[in-house]
Amino acid sequence: MKILITGGAGYIGSTIASALLDAGHTPILLDSLITGRKEFAKLHTFYHADIADQEAVRQIFSDHPDIYATIHCAALIVVPESVAKPFEYYNENVVKSMSFFKQLSELGYNRVVFSSSAAIYDVVPGFMVREDSALLPLSPYSRTKYMMEMVLKDFCHAYGLNAIALRYFNPIGADPKMRTGLHIQFPSHLIGKLVSVAMGHEEVFNLTGVDWPTRDGSGIRDYIHVWDLAQAHLKAVEHFEKAIKEGSEEGLPYTAINLGSGNGVTVKEFVAAFEKVYGQKVPVAIKPPRPGDIAGAYANADRAEKLLGWKAEMSIEDGIRDALKWGQVRDTIIHY
Ligand SMILES: NC(=O)c1ccc[n+]([C@@H]2O[C@H](COP(=O)([O-])OP(=O)(O)OC[C@H]3O[C@@H](n4cnc5c(N)ncnc54)[C@H](O)[C@@H]3O)[C@@H](O)[C@H]2O)c1
């Protein structure tokens, strides 16, 4: 099958492209390269354009009328930046995505898989969230994901779109074959920071927040290997009709699905796992929580298994090992 991936030159989109390719499908990438990498784009059929460029989108479907579905990963994704630049975030992630989805429906390409986020959930007692748990997006970034889920639902109602919103938890690792990985030079999230310390780019790992009501006081998350995440997209396009039919919400051809491992892991536990794989202690400094930090959440992943026949298979140790490996090869693949 031919699958269009917007944001296909980014971290997750490029991994999905490799997973589709390895399974015998043909990914077609559309990316503006605003943050994505040309080194990843050149591995596949690639259109260098913005999702809002209607002429370019028309050209893609005219060149590839047999595209079966669109996986929409294109977005700006940095939470603190979204607080400082809400216009850019609402414009890229909401305004442009809306016109892109409208164009898809007008062109008759109605199958959409949307990159949503676990960041839209409220914190719940026990920290495990199901798809129907309370939502409370706290940043402009997470509000763009929340809004797009609502927009998609309305478009499914009015314009004949069929959509699966996949709510990602915390992706880690890289393509196990090291074709692609996290491309940001100085990542600010947990594993990126730990790899930075391991590579000698930073001296100490700042553990922010140790008074949360979790089993050891540090924040809790659900880490999912990016390759597992990519496999879920493969299943989502291969079982698209079944997922839409059996997962239908409010009678609409729309469903939201958590993509997580189903295991909550605290930051302290993650650091211990990192040290085990890395084979050395990491210098840690305890700091207060950063503004906007929350205790966290982990997925109930039953729905993904039921609707997509997917569950996470790789461990956090696999993710840490692949992130470290990627840290070593990255600069031979990406030329900053
Ligand atoms: N990385 C995470 O932790 C995480 C967690 C939950 C959800 N997500 C979602 O997954 C998706 C992919 O994230 P990622 O980590 O791969 O980010 P990324 O920045 O690596 O990839 C995003 C890609 O989209 C492209 N892009 C942005 N705006 C565009 C536009 N207007 N037109 C065309 N291309 C455009 C960028 O150039 C980039 O290649 C995003 O929608 C993100 O919100 C990511």
Give the count of domains, the chain. Answer: 1
Mean pLDDT of 167-192: 94
79-91 pLDDT tens trace? 989 999 999 999 9
Question: Does ligand 1 come within 6 angstroms of the Cβ of 222?
Answer: no
Based on the residue annotation, tell me whether 298 is a catalytic residue of this protein.
no
Q: Which of 5, 34, 100, 184 for mutating ligand 1's site (highest number of atoms within 8 Å of CB)?
A: 34
pLDDT score of 201: 87
Question: Does ligand 1 come within 6 angstroms of the Cβ of 10?
Answer: yes
pLDDT surpassing 80 at residue 292: no
23-33 pLDDT tens trace? 999 999 999 99
Question: Does ligand 1 come within 6 angstroms of the Cβ of 69?
Answer: no
In the chain, pLDDT over 90 holds for what percent of residues? 93
Question: Does ligand 1 come within 6 angstroms of the Cβ of 142?
Answer: no
**Per-residue confidence band for 210, with pLDDT thresholds at 50, 70 and 90:** very high
Range of the domain at 46: 2-173+223-260
pTM exceeds 0.85: yes
In the chain, pLDDT over 70 holds for what percent of residues? 100
Residue 211 lies in a domain: no
255-270 pLDDT tens trace? 999 999 999 999 999 9
Residue 44 lies in a domain: yes
List the catalytic residue out of 109, 141, 146, 223.
141
Residue 251 lies in a domain: yes
Atom of ligand 1 nearest to the CA of 51: 32
Q: What are the distances in angstroms from CA 237 to CA 1, 92, 225, 265, 307?
A: 9, 24, 19, 29, 12
Residue 80 lies in a domain: yes
d(CA 153, CA 297): 24
Question: Does ligand 1 come within 6 angstroms of the Cβ of 36?
Answer: yes
Residue 276 lies in a domain: no
125-143 pLDDT tens trace? 999 999 999 999 999 999 9
Report the CATH number that the domain containing residue 112 is assigned in CATH. Answer: 3.40.50.720
Directed axis angle between helix 190-198 and helix 316-333, to 10°?
Answer: 60
Residue 190 lies in a domain: no
185-203 pLDDT tens trace? 888 889 999 998 988 889 9
Residue 95 lies in a domain: yes
d(CA 96, CA 74): 10
Residue 155 lies in a domain: yes
pLDDT score of 108: 98
